[in-house]
Amino acid sequence: MELSRRLQAVADLVTPGLPVADVGTDHGYIPIYLVKSGKNPSAIAMDINRGPLKKAEENIARHGLSGYIETRLSDGAAGLTPREASCIIAAGMGGGLIIKIIRESCGHVEDGTEWVLQPQSELWKVRRYLMEAGYRTIAEDMVLDDGKFYPMMKVKKELKEKDGIPNPSEEYSFMELCYGKLLLRQRHPVLRQYLEKEYQAKNDILVKLSRTDSKGSAARREEISKEIQMTEKALRIFQSKESICFVEKL
């Protein structure tokens, strides 16, 4: 089956061969694609609402995959038991909800489980949570689909072999939390498009704010000016041919 550009990019981040759980599966398109294409052997399509889950069941049956994809009513990952899924997808939902799903997955998901995440908001908060919780970012991608930008990431919490203590997490600067360390290092072309659009939009806002004179507008001008400076700094990375080394941390 053919997926949208956003869903295809999410599916492409999934490691082949792993049993998958798709949290908030909606119509079940990603699990159907992964199993039907042979990329992954089985999947659990999960949703908190019965309506989307019923639609997912119908789609799965229509593709003849009922024996390979199970549907399950679940609030986040609460419907899972450890080792049922080696990769969990949480895509197309708010950043706060994704943080909640990961935080509340303890006891349902093993620490070595792969997560493929596509937050719709609060990217920097999601990345900060992952950093503080000891998750390592394995891969990042970003696509432009129907006029909207969609960043996404694959992360994993790894343990030391002997004592079970999480490895020290990578540190990120605020710019990396906002835009993605790996996307910046890769000089991802879609990120560049996003930064250029943001730069123009923020400058337009600054021009409008300069026409008003109030305490609120002055504070907002200062805030926007700082955001523009960070966007300019990120754009300079794309203009440089030197290797990238980030030293400014939180």
pLDDT in tens, 209-227: 888 877 778 889 999 999 9
Which residue reads 């926007």 in tokens?
224
- 43-98 pLDDT per residue, tens: 999 999 999 999 999 999 999 999 999 999 999 999 999 989 999 999 999 999 99
Amino acid at 27: H
- Mean of all residue pLDDT scores within the chain: 91
What stretch(es) of the chain map to CATH 1.10.287.1890? Answer: 171-250
Residue 250 has pLDDT above 50, yes or no: no
- 4-39 pLDDT per residue, tens: 999 999 999 999 999 999 999 999 999 999 999 999
The pLDDT score that the predictor gives to residue 213 is 77
Which numeric CATH code is attached to 171-250? 1.10.287.1890
Instruction: Name the CATH superfamily housing domain 5-170.
Output: Vaccinia Virus protein VP39 (3.40.50.150)
What stretch(es) of the chain map to CATH 3.40.50.150? Answer: 5-170
Residue 163 has pLDDT above 80, yes or no: no
Q: What DSSP string describes 109-174?
A: B-TT-EEEEEESS-HHHHHHHHHHTTEEEEEEEEEEETTEEEEEEEEEE-B-TTT-PBPPPPP--H
Residue 126 has, within 13 A of its CA and on its CB side, a CA count of 30
Residue 168 has pLDDT above 80, yes or no: no
- 126-136 pLDDT per residue, tens: 999 999 999 99
Residue 159 has pLDDT above 90, yes or no: no
Q: Which residues pair with 156 in a beta bridge?
A: 114, 136
- Which of 250 and 126 is assigned the larger pLDDT? 126
Whole-structure pTM over 0.85, yes or no? yes
Residue 102 has pLDDT above 90, yes or no: yes
